[in-house]
Structure 1
Amino acid sequence: MAGYTSTPGDVEVGAERMEVLVEKKSSAGWMWKVFGALVVVALCLGGIQMFVWYWKGRLETRMESGQPEASMMTDSAEKTDPPHTLGQVISKSKAVIHLEGNCDEGDNPKLEWTHHQGQGFAQGGFLLLQNQIIIPRTGLYFIYSQVSFRVSCSDDEDGLERRFTPLSHRIWRFSNPMGSQVPLMSAVRSACQNGLGSGHGWYNTIYLGAVFQLNQGDKLWTETNQLSELDTDEGKNFFGAFAL
């Protein structure tokens, strides 16, 4: 039987082949590691870009809708904000009505309210029917009204000075659950006081305003005396309500 022996030449050739194989295998592994790292980096960058696009889109949407971004508010800004004024409360209220007053001249003058003149307007379900405000829904409401007078303090036909002319203004309410009308607010003033003589005038204003719990369908209207003495300049007589 023939035997085989390894010669020094064969050993050297085998070593060279093993060295080449090992070198090729390690080079391929390094390339795969680099490729994997690049893929991970690309995925991270893509995720960051998508995150930025998402929040940018949300910010633009909120700015277009008029909503301030929450992150732009600070505690110090909230603490230094001025308190709400009556105008700010009215502007934010959904149900509002503001009426301007006109008084017809004649033997039997009548104070007529309208929301189609001057600063008058109505929104949120309020109605003005037969000179009465109709409450749109049950809840809390701020009710207010003002009338202005310009009284002539000249002597009357009998020669008596009009020293104590009474001026009154009242807001009435009718509610179906109660089944009757009741006064909400009223006030009385006296004109031609302090010894003013003939030919002088007396200016006076009555303002009423308070919060009430009202029911849907309630009716509100005003009652004013001495309408012949009413000052009818624009903005001096008004009647309104807004939901809280």
Structure 2
Amino acid sequence: MVSYTTAPGDVEMGVEPRTVVLVEKKSSTGWTWKVLGALFITVLCLGGVLLFAWYWDGRQESMMETRTEALRGEDTAEKKGPHDTLRQFSTKAKAAIHLEGSYDDEDETATLEWKTGQGQAFAQGGFQLVDNMIVIPQTGLYFVYSQASFRVSCSDGDEQGAGRHLTPLSHRIWRYSDSVGTKAALMSAVRSACQQAAQDDNDRVEHGWYNAIYLGAVFQLNEGDKLWAETNQLSELETDDGKTFFGVFSL
């Protein structure tokens, strides 16, 4: 800032106007802070631009790698074919088997057979049905279960309507292990049918006594162990879908 003022001259020399110029001294410290602030802002902007460029390049590279892996997976799937792909999925699935019971009541020598190709039956994860026995694929914990359904006629054909009493129904799961060398009962249950049949209970005498035996528990089984289920009173056994079954699944 500049200002002007007039001072009187020497008395002897007479009055002569003088002009004095006052100059305001500007501080250099303010300019220094302004310069440093401008540099700091410039550095921040430049850093932000570099950081954004680095992030964008990394994202583009990651997207390219993902696309490359996807293309490789598609090429591999095309080379392997659908059967190999399904085989790969099946190896990752939990091991399980579910069988439906079948019995030919017209054959007097027939036994209870377990089927994989009827009803809701299936097998996966290495389970096999060999000689009517389930073969355990590998050592581990398994849940074993089975059910046998019966329809027992409580009438003995007597004209007086006298019913059969205490007809035994049994269902059992057997296990054979190479470590033991012999078969052993894994689970079993016994029930009695017609124990409450009365002469005046015509409906029960004519249509039969319905009952089911269910078995289920967890066991530590070894690779190669064989399991099978047997029941008595095969002539009274019901083998419609979902009534008599046998299964195992890994835990």
Give the TM-score normalised by the residue count of structure 1.
0.66
2-structure distance, mates of 1:192, 1:57: 74
2-structure distance, mates of 1:36, 1:233: 82
User: Is 1:156–1:162's contact at 8 Å kept on the other side of the alignment?
Assistant: no
1-structure distance, mates of 2:118, 2:136: 21
- Deviations, residues 61-103 of structure 1 (Å, cap 9, x unaligned): xxxxxxxxxxxxxxxxxxxxxxxxxxxxxxx961111111111
Structure 1 residue 49 displacement after superposition: 3.9
Alpha-carbon RMSD: 3.4
Structure 2 gap segments, 5+ residues each: 1-35, 68-91, 200-204
- Deviations, residues 95-118 of structure 1 (Å, cap 9, x unaligned): 111111111122233211112111
Is 1:123 paired with 2:130?
no
Is 1:190 paired with 2:192?
yes
3-state SS, counterpart of residue 144 of structure 1? strand
- State how many pairs are aligned: 185
Q: Tell me which amino acid in the other structure corresponds to 1:213.
A: Q
2-structure distance, mates of 1:206, 1:189: 8
Query: Structure 1 residues 165, 125: CA separation in 2 closer, same or farther (over 3 Å shift)?
Result: same
Is 1:46 paired with 2:53?
yes
Match of 1:174 among 151, 173, 176: 176
Structure 1 gap segments, 5+ residues each: 1-28, 61-91
- Deviations, residues 3-62 of structure 1 (Å, cap 9, x unaligned): xxxxxxxxxxxxxxxxxxxxxxxxxx99998875543221122244457678999999xx
3-state SS, counterpart of residue 99 of structure 2? strand
Q: Tell me which amino acid in the other structure corresponds to 1:229.
A: E
Q: Greater CA radius of gyration, 1 or 2?
A: 2
Q: Tell me which amino acid in the other structure corresponds to 1:112.
A: E
Match of 1:165 among 161, 164, 167: 167
Query: Structure 1 residues 128, 56: CA separation in 2 closer, same or farther (over 3 Å shift)?
Result: same
Partner of 1:11: none
User: Is 1:145–1:239's contact at 8 Å kept on the other side of the alignment?
Assistant: yes
2-structure distance, mates of 1:59, 1:169: 56
2-structure distance, mates of 1:161, 1:34: 103
Query: Structure 1 residues 49, 131: CA separation in 2 closer, same or farther (over 3 Å shift)?
Result: same
Give the TM-score normalised by the residue count of structure 2.
0.64
Q: Tell me which amino acid in the other structure corresponds to 2:176.
A: F
Match of 2:206 among 183, 199, 216: 199
